[in-house]
Amino acid sequence: MNHVDVAQRAQRLPEDHPAVKALLRSKWLLTKRGFGPWARIYRKAVGGDRRCVQLAILPWGALDPRYWGRPPTCRRRSWPG
């Protein structure tokens, strides 16, 4: 069993996946658990300011719009640095 099989079984993207590489190029870091269904990405703390985001990666169509409605429009916020 190779690392791809293990990652797929754990529902995690391997470190060489284009999405993971893009996050790392954007100066985001992953926790030791990697990029899975409840991925947590963060940037190193600057002073007392810490930036961390937890993502819920759901299968396509998991949230039925009949019950959830349309998603709200997201505002884009630029972070310093």
pLDDT for residue 42: 93
Number of domains composing the chain: 1
Integer Cα distance of 70 and 63 in angstroms: 10
pLDDT for residue 58: 76
Does the pTM surpass 0.75? The reply is: no
Please report whether residue 66 resides in a domain: no
Which residues neighbour 30 within 8 Å (Cβ) at sequence distance 6 or greater? 20, 23, 24, 39, 40, 41
9-40 pLDDT per residue, tens: 567 888 899 989 999 999 999 998 888 888 99
54-74 pLDDT per residue, tens: 988 877 777 777 777 766 676
Q: Give residue 55's domain range.
A: 3-59
